């Protein structure tokens, strides 16, 4: 049999694959997983991925032929093709959109030549140090994980902050490498890779590589190739590393598995790396180890009903005590000191003491910029982005107001355009304002700030963290970037500046998220000898979530929230698909969104909710409406997706003014 035809996916947003002829000289070379160049639309050398070869000519007379086939080393293996197709199907993305994430970095560039295979490096004889000896508890836990893996594909390690989870991961990585298999260690954020890679390199030397989008294209390409040819046995990476061409993955570790950064929002594919990882591991006949001090309710639920194995480690390594948790009521401060600063006396005192003892402080505020909005005290005017329905955030250091949705920035007006008042005031506070105030109150302290604004440069984040770890900085102020995973010897005080804005966010996950953020950032404090201190500022000290944070009572939070989720029909008891509809014309949007919702309701009934406006109803001039579909046990997810695909297609085909955009977000976070 000749197999003269190939089904090929193209890295653009179109459905399905295209059938091309295989020219005689490439017969036998082109296979599932090959990267080829093909004529597509006007272009004569579009990169395509072969997902299938066969003998059936496309219907109709004419077909086009493959132009060339990239060298074998640039091809993707069968397992990765299978994974790409699963992601495309499950997350309702076009296969070409998923393929873009998986092909060797840079190969989508026209005319790119793939270099010839270099001589394979022979096994390295690096001498590597002291995996740490696990203590008795860690040894038990590690054994329990090993046992559970005999029957389970996925195990959740729930271990309090600083219980030594990372050391346990290292041991399991070592076992896999000794067995000749590959390991992927995933982290939710690039900033975290710096610290962890230092720890891992000690044990794994050059057999471990790092992969994320901040690397140069050539560095990414290098990792891609070495994973593909097997020289790289272990990878530490963020979510995109799932699409590396692993040959034989024995284990995927998902550290901080609860973190919402594992979900990709934009662009497609909108996949959840934790959930997709389990499928990838299964394709390889490998296992997935989830770890967190504050597991997602989804994972914890799955573990308690027996779908995953569960192991718990509830004491810190070396018997170090969990930090002392203190609530500081901001209402009394505001009354007595007329809100001069955003610091309560309690927090100030703790910071002062830490500095006196040459210890370090982390201050957490989940908002960047100086203040989240500006207001005219005389007429109430609030400057809003002209592209989006949100107020501008004021960034004092550059004297500008910036829209955090579209990035548009404008100068701060000298006076109110409505009433001419010149006393425009700032409302609320972000990390920049905290930095300004702390520098006034502790003028001799060395202060650094870590948020999106200070970490745009390639190595900025790792420099900030390295300085802090080396004791060059006394106080580190930051957003959620500093809440997770980091391990600093001399950090004893953590301040949460404003617990309220997290807890009162209108989302069904707000309480879970607030608990996780506060417990995680608290977990940075006092990880070695001295007991840490955490001061949480709030105007709502009796709040249930705060009580749970105070007692470090994950179980209580979990029980309560799961009951609510079950009662009101939210994940993990139902699956959610959110359909996002966008149009620049509000009228057109309303018509399309309502019509789509109606036709979905015809097939799926009361499980279809909406359409409604999201919190921010206009972004970059596009108006947005969403439809939510709750999939419970009475519906088959694949049938629901079929209906959604069809109805979206039908809606797109209708005539209208202007451009309509619709996408589905499966398991939105």
Q: Which residues here bind ligand ADP, judged by CB under 6 A?
A: 132-135, 138, 159, 161-167, 317, 487, 527
CB under 5 to 8 A by kind: which of Zn ion, ligand ADP, none does 479 bind? Answer: none
Cβ-Cβ contacts under 8 Å for 62 (sequence gap 6 or more): none
CB 520 within 8 A of CB 560: no
Nearest approach in angstroms of CB 245 to ligand ADP is: 29
Identity of the residue, 167 or 500, whose beta carbon is nearer to ligand ADP in the bound complex: 167
261 closest CA partner among 235, 234, 287, 296: 296
Nearest approach in angstroms of CB 660 to Zn ion is: 21
Nearest approach in angstroms of CB 669 to ligand ADP is: 23
Nearest approach in angstroms of CB 173 to ligand ADP is: 13
Q: What is the DSSP letter of 23?
A: P
Q: Is 387 in the site for Zn ion (CB under 5 A)?
A: yes
Identity of the residue, 22 or 293, whose beta carbon is nearer to ligand ADP in the bound complex: 293
Q: Is 403 in the site for Zn ion (CB under 5 A)?
A: yes
Nearest approach in angstroms of CB 130 to ligand ADP is: 9
Applying CB under 5 A, which part among 108-116, 394-402, 412-420, 603-611 lies near Zn ion? 412-420
The DSSP H or E segment spanning 129 is none
Q: What is the DSSP letter of 132?
A: P
Nearest approach in angstroms of CB 321 to ligand ADP is: 13
The 3 state secondary structure assigned to 263-322 is ECCCCCCCCEHHHHHHHHHHHCCCEEEEEECCCCHHHHHHHHCCCCEEEEECCCHHHCCC
Nearest approach in angstroms of CB 157 to ligand ADP is: 9
CB 643 within 8 A of CB 603: yes
- C-alpha separations of 94 from 240, 519, 582 in Å: 17, 38, 18
- C-alpha to C-alpha distance for 533 and 526, rounded to whole angstroms: 7
Identity of the residue, 46 or 161, whose beta carbon is nearer to ligand ADP in the bound complex: 161
Q: What is the DSSP letter of 641?
A: H
Identity of the residue, 260 or 409, whose beta carbon is nearer to Zn ion in the bound complex: 409
Q: Which of 19, 68, 409, 421 binds Zn ion (CB under 5 A)?
A: 421
Structure tokens at 147: 């046992």
Nearest approach in angstroms of CB 170 to ligand ADP is: 8
Omega cis (within 30) before 306:
no
Structure tokens at 472: 């060059």
CB under 5 to 8 A by kind: which of ligand ADP, Zn ion, none does 387 bind? Answer: Zn ion
- C-alpha to C-alpha distance for 438 and 363, rounded to whole angstroms: 10
Nearest approach in angstroms of CB 252 to ligand ADP is: 17
CB 163 within 8 A of CB 291: no
Q: Is 376 in the site for Zn ion (CB under 5 A)?
A: yes
Identity of the residue, 318 or 407, whose beta carbon is nearer to Zn ion in the bound complex: 407
- C-alpha to C-alpha distance for 218 and 669, rounded to whole angstroms: 32
Identity of the residue, 77 or 409, whose beta carbon is nearer to Zn ion in the bound complex: 409
DSSP E strand stretches across 187-227: 208-211
Nearest approach in angstroms of CB 621 to Zn ion is: 9
CB under 5 to 8 A by kind: which of ligand ADP, Zn ion, none does 457 bind? Answer: none
Identity of the residue, 16 or 318, whose beta carbon is nearer to ligand ADP in the bound complex: 318
Identity of the residue, 40 or 317, whose beta carbon is nearer to ligand ADP in the bound complex: 317
CB under 5 to 8 A by kind: which of ligand ADP, Zn ion, none does 355 bind? Answer: none
Q: Which of 156, 160, 388, 481 binds Zn ion (CB under 5 A)?
A: 388
CB 374 within 8 A of CB 382: yes
CB 375 within 8 A of CB 427: yes
Q: Is 419 in the site for Zn ion (CB under 5 A)?
A: yes
Q: Is 190 in the site for Zn ion (CB under 5 A)?
A: no
Phi, psi of 517 (to 5 degrees): -60, -45
CB under 5 to 8 A by kind: which of Zn ion, ligand ADP, none does 376 bind? Answer: Zn ion
Q: Which of 381, 505, 508, 570 binds Zn ion (CB under 5 A)?
A: 381
Phi, psi of 186 (to 5 degrees): -105, 140
Cβ-Cβ contacts under 8 Å for 178 (sequence gap 6 or more): none
Nearest approach in angstroms of CB 528 to ligand ADP is: 7
CB under 5 to 8 A by kind: which of Zn ion, ligand ADP, none does 348 bind? Answer: none
Near Zn ion in 97-156, by CB under 5 A? none
CB under 5 to 8 A by kind: which of Zn ion, ligand ADP, none does 384 bind? Answer: none
Neighbour tally for 662: CB within 10 Å: 19
- Residues 159, 164, 168, 174: what is their CA dihedral angle, to the nearest 10 degrees? 150
- C-alpha to C-alpha distance for 520 and 518, rounded to whole angstroms: 5
Identity of the residue, 405 or 505, whose beta carbon is nearer to Zn ion in the bound complex: 405
CB under 5 to 8 A by kind: which of Zn ion, ligand ADP, none does 315 bind? Answer: none
CB under 5 to 8 A by kind: which of Zn ion, ligand ADP, none does 419 bind? Answer: Zn ion
CB under 5 to 8 A by kind: which of ligand ADP, Zn ion, none does 385 bind? Answer: Zn ion
CB under 5 to 8 A by kind: which of Zn ion, ligand ADP, none does 522 bind? Answer: none
Q: Is 379 in the site for Zn ion (CB under 5 A)?
A: yes
Strand partners, 234: 183, 208
CB 628 within 8 A of CB 609: yes
Q: For 134-153, b where at least 16 C-beta lie within 10 A, e where not — what string?
A: beeebeebbebbeebbeebb
Cβ-Cβ contacts under 8 Å for 353 (sequence gap 6 or more): 493
CB under 5 to 8 A by kind: which of ligand ADP, Zn ion, none does 468 bind? Answer: none
Applying CB under 5 A, which part among 140-148, 368-376, 427-435, 627-635 lies near Zn ion? 368-376
Q: Which of 131, 146, 341, 405 binds Zn ion (CB under 5 A)?
A: 405
CB under 5 to 8 A by kind: which of Zn ion, ligand ADP, none does 632 bind? Answer: none
- C-alpha to C-alpha distance for 569 and 632, rounded to whole angstroms: 8
Nearest approach in angstroms of CB 374 to Zn ion is: 11
Strand partners, 7: 19, 52
Which residues are at the interface with Zn ion (CB under 5 A)?
A: 376, 378-379, 381, 385, 387-388, 403, 405-406, 408, 416, 418-419, 421
């Amino acid at each position: 049999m000749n197999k003269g035809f190939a089904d090929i996916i193209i890295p653009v947003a179109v459905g399905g694959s295209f059938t091309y002829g295989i020219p005689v000289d490439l017969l036998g070379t082109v296979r599932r997983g090959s990267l080829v160049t093909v004529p597509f639309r006007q272009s004569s050398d579009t990169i395509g991925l072969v997902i299938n070869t066969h003998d059936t000519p496309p219907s109709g007379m004419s077909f086009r032929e493959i132009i060339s086939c990239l060298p074998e080393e640039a091809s993707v293996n069968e397992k990765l093709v299978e994974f790409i197709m699963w992601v495309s199907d499950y997350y309702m993305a076009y296969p070409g959109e998923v393929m873009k994430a998986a092909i060797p970095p840079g190969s989508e560039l026209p005319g790119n030549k793939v270099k010839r295979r270099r001589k394979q490096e022979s096994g390295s004889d690096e001498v590597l140090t002291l995996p740490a000896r696990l203590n008795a508890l860690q040894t038990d836990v590690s054994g329990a994980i090993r046992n559970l893996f005999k029957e389970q594909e996925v195990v959740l390690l729930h271990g309090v902050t600083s219980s030594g989870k990372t050391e346990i991961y290292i041991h399991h990585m070592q076992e896999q490498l000794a067995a000749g298999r590959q390991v992927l260690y995933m982290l939710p954020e690039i900033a975290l890779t710096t610290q962890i890679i230092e720890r891992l390199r000690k044990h794994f030397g050059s057999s471990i590589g790092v992969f994320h989008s901040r690397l140069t294209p050539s560095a990414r390409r290098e990792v891609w190739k070495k994973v593909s040819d097997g020289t790289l046995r272990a990878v530490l990476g963020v979510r995109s590393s799932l699409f590396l061409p692993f040959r034989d993955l024995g284990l995927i570790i998902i550290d901080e598995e609860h973190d919402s950064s594992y979900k990709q929002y934009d662009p497609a594919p909108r996949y959840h790396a934790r959930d997709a990882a389990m499928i990838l591991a299964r394709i390889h006949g490998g296992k997935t180890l989830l770890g967190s001090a504050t597991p997602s309710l989804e994972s914890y639920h799955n573990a308690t009903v027996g779908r995953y194995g569960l192991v718990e480690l509830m004491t810190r390594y070396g018997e170090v005590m969990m930090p002392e948790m203190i609530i500081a009521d901001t209402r009394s401060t505001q009354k007595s000191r007329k809100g001069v600063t955003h610091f309560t006396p309690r927090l100030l005192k703790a910071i002062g003491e830490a500095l006196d003892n040459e210890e370090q402080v982390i201050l957490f505020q989940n908002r960047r910029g100086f203040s989240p909005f500006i207001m005219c005290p005389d007429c109430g005017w609030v400057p809003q982005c002209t592209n989006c329905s949100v107020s501008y955030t004021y960034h004092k250091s550059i004297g500008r107001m910036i829209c955090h949705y579209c990035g548009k920035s404008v100068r701060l007006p000298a006076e109110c355009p409505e009433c001419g008042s010149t006393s425009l005031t700032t409302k609320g506070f972000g990390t920049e304002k905290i930095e300004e105030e702390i520098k006034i109150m502790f003028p001799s302290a060395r202060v650094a700030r870590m948020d999106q604004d200070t970490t745009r440069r390639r190595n900025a984040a790792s420099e900030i963290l390295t300085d802090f770890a080396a004791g060059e900085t006394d106080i580190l102020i930051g957003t959620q970037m500093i809440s997770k995973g980091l391990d600093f010897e001399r950090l004893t005080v953590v301040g949460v500046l404003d617990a309220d804005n997290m807890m009162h966010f209108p989302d069904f996950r707000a309480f879970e998220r607030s608990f996780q953020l506060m417990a995680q950032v608290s977990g940075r404090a006092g990880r070695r000898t001295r007991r840490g201190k955490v001061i949480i500022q709030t105007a709502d000290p009796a709040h249930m979530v705060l009580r749970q944070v105070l007692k470090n009572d994950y179980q209580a939070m979990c029980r309560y929230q799961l009951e609510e989720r079950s009662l009101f029909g939210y994940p993990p008891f139902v699956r959610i698909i959110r359909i996002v509809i966008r149009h620049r014309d509000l009228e057109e949007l309303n018509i399309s969104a309502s019509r789509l919702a109606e036709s979905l309701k015809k097939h799926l009934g009361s499980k279809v909710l909406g359409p409604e406006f999201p919190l921010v109803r206009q972004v970059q001039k596009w108006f947005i409406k969403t439809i939510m579909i709750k999939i419970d046990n009475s519906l088959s997810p694949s049938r629901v997706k079929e209906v959604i695909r069809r109805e979206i297609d039908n809606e797109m085909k209708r005539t209208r003014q202007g451009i309509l955009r619709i996408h589905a977000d499966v398991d939105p976070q």
